[in-house]
Structure 1
């Protein structure tokens, strides 16, 4: 007889003896109890996991909601202080409010409110606000486009001898960018910005335009003079263009 057959025979004998003694029923009941315990533990574990998951989600949401609430409160507090300073006539605070509202930085975008503060600052004579308002009106950036009014504000800044405004006016007249093209007037304002107001970007533009013969009469020596002056002044694009020009030209 093989070992497997011997095991089967012994198991069969054991089963018969167990039945006669009632042991098998006890074993069956014991197995049922064990199974019930396993099922109960599984159910309890599942319920516990579900409860923990349900509890975890609101906690995460609450943290996010709290952070958002704190951010809004800080922004509101910041606006309160900026408006307090603006109401006392501080144009820097007005400019900050205008930027935040028009660009939507830290605040919900509000073009009407942004333009209101920008105009208040410009009307009080703040050069930054005057130039920014002029450019926005010329381009229709954040506020309704109005080229006529934009040019008026730009000329006002030029009268105040603002280098950037003078260069911007010259560039736009030369290119016909937002304004009616007028090459002669554009060149005049560009030269004014470079020669009298020492505006480095104006110098760089004069240099490039004269060397290439774009928008201005081609004059390499004059172009090299202005481009090098801008580079010597530390204007980074002029430095790059001057270096490139010396190595391989344009």
Structure 2
């Protein structure tokens, strides 16, 4: 079922902005699975693995330029009214800003079977420089990566706080374990998320729900049906406690089951809290119902919040009615919004170097 992917722990900066933009575009596209994106890439002659697709959005490192470009193209094609070239230019601009930032972690080496997917990628290492042991083991393989020394110290401090009942530390520790600890780390992360969630921590509820869903999807076992039900219950608890992202996730889950009435309730609640993605999802649901007037109002509200995708969608609606003058205004504003993001990042980078 469609759902948001986990966000990596990243400090504020160009890489965080790039990752946020990728996740937002993934949201606008309806949260397609990594395998669905991989199939779309295969159709374009780009045989990228679903693991690399997932890692591009979820790993705390700078992804390769080629991966960002191709994944952006696939996602933008799924967003109604999106200008594909504009989206690619916007995301590549963000990638360039992150690449110029020395604090952005470098990408992991590209596995041999994926190197052909990105022939023009300057970050791809020469094939002869690689060995089968170059790649860190994945969580599915039960692999465990070593934390940098400073992060080891931070994790020990988090663990001490978590063991003393600090729910924020429980969530932070769980996120670190899930990212770095392989299969064993994910299992321990679940226990920490659960402890914090049962104490009322809404982010822990969302993290636990996502982790449970990932587990049942990867195993694909009918015996894990109850894990899916439990995941939904945690989404619901987090949403009922006011967590906007959980509201959107629950809305998507309900919409997938054709429970559109309740999905609309959660989308609207998140939209009224200012989530532009929820505004778009709610508007899309309204349009499917034939309520074009209210759908356009929500598209317009998201556009007025500065969302470039909403601006392009609104422009497309106006063009359908041949209101080309206003449509052109929104197209122009969408381009300006995309450029302003890049301008702010570049300006921030230069200020940091001065």
Does TM, scored on the shorter chain, surpass 0.5? yes
Query: Structure 1 pair 198/79, CA: closer, same or farther in 2 (3 Å)?
Result: closer
Query: Structure 1 pair 191/237, CA: closer, same or farther in 2 (3 Å)?
Result: same
1:147-158 aligned within 5 A: 147-158=228-239
| 2:196 alignment partner in structure 1 | 121
Mapped to 1, the partners of 2:157 and 2:197 lie a distance apart of 20
Mapped to 2, the partners of 1:154 and 1:172 lie a distance apart of 9
| 1:81 alignment partner in structure 2 | 157
| 1:221 alignment partner in structure 2 | 293
Mapped to 2, the partners of 1:218 and 1:111 lie a distance apart of 43
Residue of 231, 244, 262 corresponding to 1:185: 262
Query: Structure 1 pair 208/182, CA: closer, same or farther in 2 (3 Å)?
Result: closer
Question: Highest CA radius of gyration, 1 or 2?
Answer: 1
- How big is the shift at 1:133? 1.2
The 4+ residue runs of structure 1 with deviation greater than 6 A are 141-144
| 1:17 alignment partner in structure 2 | none
Mapped to 2, the partners of 1:76 and 1:140 lie a distance apart of 26
Q: Map Cα deviations across residues 68-95 of structure 1 (whole Å, 9 max, x no partner).
A: xx96644432321111222233222222
Q: Which has the higher helix share?
A: 1
| Cα contact 2:203–2:243 (8 A) shared by 1 | no
| TM-score, normalised relative to structure 1 | 0.57
Mapped to 2, the partners of 1:163 and 1:102 lie a distance apart of 22
Residue 251 (structure 2) pairs with residue 170 (structure 1) = yes
Stretches of structure 2 that go unaligned for 5 or more consecutive residues are 1-145, 322-354
| 1:132 alignment partner in structure 2 | 207
Residue of 81, 102, 111 corresponding to 2:186: 111
Mapped to 2, the partners of 1:236 and 1:85 lie a distance apart of 41
1:202-217 aligned within 5 A: 202-211=278-287, 213=288, 217=289
**Aligned partner of residue 140 in structure 1, secondary structure:** helix
Query: Structure 1 pair 132/164, CA: closer, same or farther in 2 (3 Å)?
Result: same
Q: Name the Cα RMSD after superposition.
A: 3.0
Q: Structure with the greater relative contact order (CA < 8 A, sep ≥ 6): 1 or 2?
A: 2
| 1:233 alignment partner in structure 2 | 305
| Paired residues, number | 170
| 1:160 alignment partner in structure 2 | 241
Stretches of structure 1 that go unaligned for 5 or more consecutive residues are 1-69
Mapped to 1, the partners of 2:149 and 2:161 lie a distance apart of 19
Range that drifts further, 155-164 or 217-226: 155-164
Q: Map Cα deviations across residues 145-199 of structure 1 (whole Å, 9 max, x no partner).
A: 51111121122122213222222212211122xxxx422222232233334x343
| 1:98 alignment partner in structure 2 | 174
Query: Structure 1 pair 234/123, CA: closer, same or farther in 2 (3 Å)?
Result: farther
| Cα contact 1:231–1:242 (8 A) shared by 2 | yes
